[in-house]
Amino acid sequence: MSPPSPPAPHQAEESHRTKGLLRLTMACNERCPFCNVPAEDYPRPTPSEEEQNIELDDFIASGERTLTISGGEPTLLRRRLLSVIRRARGAGVPFVELQTNAVLIDEGYAAALAEAGLTSAFVSLLSHEPAHHDALAGLKGAFARCLRGIDALLGVGVRVALNPVTARRTQTLLPDYLRFVAARLPGVRSVSLSAVQPHGRARQHLSELLPDYDVLRDVVPEAQRVAAAAGIELLNPYCGLPLCVGWAADMARSVEAIEAEGGGWRPLPGIENRDDKTQGPPCQACALRTRCGGAWRAVWTERGGAGLHPPLRRVAPWEPGAEAAPGQQIFRAPGRPTPAQLSAARASVQPTVWLVVGALTEDDVPLLMSSGCTDLCLCLQTAALEAAGPAIAQTLRGLHRLLRLGVSAPDHGRLLVHMRLEGQGGPATSQLAAWATARGAATVHRAP
Ligand SMILES: C[S@@+](CC[C@H](N)C(=O)[O-])C[C@H]1O[C@@H](n2cnc3c(N)ncnc32)[C@H](O)[C@@H]1O
Ligand code: SF4
């Protein structure tokens, strides 16, 4: 049977898109010490062919355009893998990607994969130095066999992207890795710069595996320069790095930032970090927090957030230089937020969008929550506050509702509330300042 015709170039797969994942078997021929889905966690590693066909049919019915086949190591099931690829392509799925360590792929099998309709392979070439690759793969001789597999796939026209899974022992070698790829594997056009995710087997070896973010912050920009000079697309995937670890100046290649910008940070999913990652105290002052899922929880709990510092500081509207600060835009209204101000906020492409208002009502809250506003600054005159008239009571009800709703939003999507209290003030002002801080206001600024 001839392979299904390839998709037209303009339909090229967007490599940052979320993909359907079919794990063919959880069994594996390697023993990567960092594996996030280790074979020993799966007492029944291989589903029956029948179960798998149901999963595949569901995927085909979903209309998704890229099927990713992974594992474990899918090439262990040589015939089943070919049949799944053939079935998916035959049913009209335009892109089928294979995640593999490639050591079992020789020229003959690469030809069979291409004939079945495989469009791309995502290969775990873990280092350009054989000793590092073999140690990280947990298999002696894996490096040479992996290279042979990559050559074979490229030889039959399958697109290959590489995944180095940066670990502590390879963290300073990334620029050399890219130089090696450019020289030895010129057919490879894409490298996904992932770094050890502290899950699965990796949890048992965290201190020796988890890279040092202070080191990577300097190494990644050099890797980006080498990749750009060689025409290699370097991506920061979900299993990659927080923006402040080398990616702040290249957000267009950071999957979380792309998704957050494309989906908006609310109400669409935006950054989907499945609760694996979280932001920490430094992120509160970061102008890019709405484009970043933060760091793995273990980076905060076991490394104290080392290496994470806002690459762009959010500047409050009352601070000097706020209007021109990069990464943010400020819209001001003397009273309640206006429709024009809300739609300007929605149209803004900046990661931080301030609305500065002098009043609020409860009715404004849903409008604010669905606008593109990321930081609301409520400026109150303390004289009015002390007088406690009906307008101020209404504003405080709005503020109460806003703070209550904000707490339940995910970090990167939270509308931060800031207060500026202008004037000397008295007991009502101090009480409000304490109350707002306790209820989660990000800043309470007194300006006597
Ligand atoms: C679980 S593997 C299965 C496919 C295949 N056996 C392989 O090694 O490429 C799927 C992908 O996850 C990556 N991976 C595994 N554990 C990881 C971890 N702890 N952090 C980041 N990526 C990881 C692998 O490098 C591979 O690209
Ligand atoms: S939100 Fe946090 S983790 Fe992300 S770039 Fe800013 S400081 Fe770094």
In a domain, 322, yes or no: no
- Measured CA to CA, the distance from residue 343 to residue 177 in angstroms comes to 46
332 and 200 part of one domain: no
Q: Cα angle at 336 between 333 and 342, to 5 degrees? A: 70
Structure tokens at 435: 């109350």
In a domain, 302, yes or no: no
Maximum Cα–Cα distance across the chain: 84
The answer to whether 32 and 62 have CB atoms below 8 angstroms apart is no
Predicted pLDDT of residue 180: 98
The closest alpha carbon to 203, from 40, 366, 369, 445, belongs to: 40
236 and 340 part of one domain: no
In a domain, 320, yes or no: no
**Positions of the chain with pLDDT under 50:** 1-18, 265-270, 272
44 and 120 part of one domain: yes
CATH number at residue 58: 3.20.20.70
| Residues spanned by the domain of 15 | 9-277
Strand residue runs (E) in 299-442: 328-332, 352-357, 375-381, 416-422
In a domain, 290, yes or no: no
In a domain, 224, yes or no: yes
259 and 349 part of one domain: no
* Residue 47 CA from chain centroid, whole number: 30
246 C-beta closer than 6 A to ligand 2 = no
The number of the ligand 2 atom at minimal distance from the alpha carbon of 310 is 7
> Within 10 Å of residue 340's Cβ, how many Cβ atoms?
10
CA torsion through residues 211, 214, 218, 221, sign:
positive
The closest alpha carbon to 174, from 191, 187, 188, 158, belongs to: 191
Cα dist from 159 to 92, 97, 123, 224, whole Å: 19, 9, 10, 21
Among 216, 246, 277, the domain boundary falls at: 277
271 and 352 part of one domain: no
244 C-beta closer than 6 A to ligand 2 = yes
Predicted pLDDT of residue 266: 44
Among 261, 277, 293, the domain boundary falls at: 277
81 C-beta closer than 6 A to ligand 1 = no
DSSP alpha helix (H) spans, 4-101? 49-62, 78-90
In a domain, 310, yes or no: no
The answer to whether 72 and 41 have CB atoms below 8 angstroms apart is no
282 C-beta closer than 6 A to ligand 2 = yes
Model pTM score: 0.90
340 and 228 part of one domain: no
Protein residue closest via CA to atom 26 of ligand 1: 124
197 C-beta closer than 6 A to ligand 1 = yes
16 and 129 part of one domain: yes
335 and 404 part of one domain: yes
196 and 255 part of one domain: yes
Structure tokens at 387: 């007088």
CA 201 to ligand 2 center in whole angstroms: 26
180 and 241 part of one domain: yes
Q: Cα angle at 225 between 220 and 226, to 5 degrees? A: 95
CA torsion through residues 192, 193, 199, 200, sign:
positive
In a domain, 284, yes or no: no
Q: What is the number of domains present in the chain?
A: 2
In a domain, 257, yes or no: yes
Protein residue closest via CA to atom 1 of ligand 2: 289
CATH number at residue 389: 3.20.20
* Residue 71 CA from chain centroid, whole number: 21
237 and 127 part of one domain: yes
194 C-beta closer than 6 A to ligand 1 = yes
Predicted pLDDT of residue 104: 98
